[in-house]
Amino acid sequence: MKTIQIIGLLTFLILVSCGDKFLSLSPKDTLTEENFYLNESDAQAGLIGAYSILQREETFSNVRDAADVEWAIAGDMYEMDGSANRIELHTLAFPATNTILRDMYVGAYLGVSRANMVINKVNGMENISDEAKKLIVGQAKFLRALFYYRLVTYWGGVPLITETLDASSNLEISRASAAEVWNLVETDLIEATTSLPKTWTGNDLGKATAGSALGLLIKAALWQEKYEDAISYAEALIGQGVYGLVPKFRDVFSEEHENNEEILFSTQFRPSQDGEGNNLVKRTAPRGAPSEFTGGAAWSNFVPQQHWVNAFERDAQGKIIDQRYWQVIIGPGEPHQNMPAFVMPQAVPAGWSKTGYIVTKYWEKPTINNSGVNAPIMRFSEALLNYAEALNEVGRGSEAISQINVVRQRAGLNVLSSNLGKEEILDAIFKERRMEFIWEPTGGFSDLNRRGRFIDFIKKERPNINDLNIDQKPWLHTHPILFPIPREAWDRNKALVQNPNYTF
């Protein structure tokens, strides 16, 4: 899927953006809904349009979600920009006018809209084989489930839209319950597990698979405390024999090894000046560093905090022994993993990194244009830790420890004792998530929030906890913590009711 069909995508974008005048006229030289979805090529172009939403910063590019929300709210990453909308999030203020939350809400619904159109149009097509229809609709249902998963975990019950809307549709849509949203997520994903192949080849690499759907089903089951279901989905995923851990942690993220055996699903990018590339290298590389290493731009937007670095396991001499640090982090006096001629100064300039550290998961070489490195959404290591959490909850602690140890051994760490109690095992799982998934859309705020661990975590780990005034922020004392429905969404849909403790 790396070589996305640009012409087909542009055709679809024209189709879905034209409004009521477009829908009311049918000249033979103009695309309409009626004369577009006529054959498999049209259907595939529509599907590409749905996939393309993943590339937007406000959806699944590992910028707004992984950095702005997951890891900066949890406090393990620091953002060098200091923009007002980011400060609101990182001080846990969460106003309904926050533009990052607004854009993520809108972006998720744009993805839902694209997926709905594919599902509804392709299901009604006649000039397409049943097998092609099953594959296209199965992918679209996975994407719809992924976008609704984002909505329900951040906002709770939201308007549940499964039909294609147009200018004549009633847009005053009330919120469904969270249970109703979860039901759609699970229904779509279960269908996807039976509709999609275990693997793709050639230009189809990177598309959603049955394993992608199973991975998301595990996460959905954990959110709903359906631990036996999570175990069943995890064992089905492992039983496919398709996925495993890449021996070298850094290789998980490299462009050369993209779509490797550890990736359950990722957003696909290619180097370019247009929307097919991302700016993760620019957001990683330290601003002011030599361009021979950074390329066309370097912003060092998101850097790891010192207290996160301090959490790595060390030997008796105080040296970090966790290979994940040495594979994807550089600090004072340390060389870049792929470009050893680049060495962080012993005294790191504040403009390079206020904390002195840089995450290099997505920075392996200089880029003149936008980068082609993929943004991971789900990895097999996450599935193993999620499996361990579910096993632990049903009293199968020794089996849970075995799954944790698989992840630890790849990191070069000693195996955990088999005598740990239930709470100790849960603590160990969250410790591995914290060290494994920095700057990925998992392992940070949402997992802590799901288990009601967020407040205790930041009290223990965030050095600025006394400045956050958490007792004066009642929205932080709900389970789960929800974000406010954006003010602009309510401006357009007065049927929306705000989440508790917020105002529009």
Nearest CA-CA partner of 336 in 266, 281, 268, 379: 281
Write out the two tokens for 73: 């709210």
Give the start-to-end residue ranges of the domains of the chain: 269-373
Give the CA count within 13 Å in the CB-facing half-sphere of 272: 13
d(Cα 440, Cα 66) in Å, to the nearest integer? 5
Within 8 A by CB and 6+ apart from 452, the residues are 479, 480
Predicted confidence at residue 170, as pLDDT, reads: 84
d(Cα 91, Cα 88) in Å, to the nearest integer? 5
State phi, psi for 315 to the nearest 5 degrees. Answer: -85, -175
The tokens 């900066």 sit on which residue?
72
Ordered per-residue pLDDT tens for the chain, 504 residues: 654 443 334 334 434 443 332 222 333 444 455 668 999 999 999 999 999 999 999 999 999 999 999 999 999 999 998 899 999 999 999 999 999 999 999 999 999 999 999 999 999 999 999 999 999 999 999 999 999 999 999 999 999 999 998 777 888 999 999 999 999 999 999 999 999 999 999 999 999 999 999 999 999 999 999 999 999 999 999 999 999 999 999 999 999 999 999 999 999 999 987 668 999 999 999 999 999 999 999 999 999 999 999 999 999 999 999 999 999 999 999 999 999 999 999 999 999 999 999 999 999 999 988 999 999 999 999 999 999 999 999 999 999 999 999 999 999 999 999 999 999 999 999 999 999 999 999 999 999 999 999 999 999 999 999 999 999 999 999 999 999 999 999 999 999 999 999 999
| Radius of gyration, CA atoms only, the chain | 23
d(Cα 48, Cα 41) in Å, to the nearest integer? 11
Within 8 A by CB and 6+ apart from 261, the residues are 242, 243, 244, 245, 246, 380
Within 8 A by CB and 6+ apart from 75, the residues are 90, 305, 307, 458, 461, 462, 464
Sign of CA dihedral 222, 227, 232, 238: positive
Contact 194, 176 (CB under 8 A): no
Q: What share of the chain is helix, strand, coil (3-state, %, to 5)?
A: 50, 5, 45
Contact 364, 338 (CB under 8 A): yes
End-to-end C-alpha distance for the chain, whole angstroms: 41
The CA-atom distances, in angstroms, between 58 and each of 109, 271, 301, 343 are 11, 19, 16, 32
Predicted confidence at residue 166, as pLDDT, reads: 79
The alpha carbon of residue 298 and the mean position of all alpha carbons in its chain are separated, in whole angstroms, by 23
66 CB burial (10 A radius; 0-12, 13-18, 19+): buried
d(Cα 339, Cα 328) in Å, to the nearest integer? 13
d(Cα 41, Cα 202) in Å, to the nearest integer? 18
Predicted confidence at residue 5, as pLDDT, reads: 40
The tokens 């405390």 sit on which residue?
225
State phi, psi for 461 to the nearest 5 degrees. Answer: -105, -30
Bridge partner residues of 370 (DSSP)? 272
Write out the two tokens for 30: 């103009």
- Give CB contacts under 8 A, 24+ apart, made by 480-483: 480/153, 480/156, 480/449, 480/450, 480/452, 481/449, 481/454, 482/154, 482/155, 482/156, 483/94, 483/101, 483/154, 483/155
Contact 44, 204 (CB under 8 A): no
Predicted confidence at residue 221, as pLDDT, reads: 99
The CA-atom distances, in angstroms, between 40 and each of 44, 123, 297 are 6, 12, 41
User: For the chain, what is the total number of helices (H) and then of strands (E)?
Assistant: 21, 6
The CA-atom distances, in angstroms, between 19 and each of 16, 23, 45, 109 are 8, 7, 19, 17
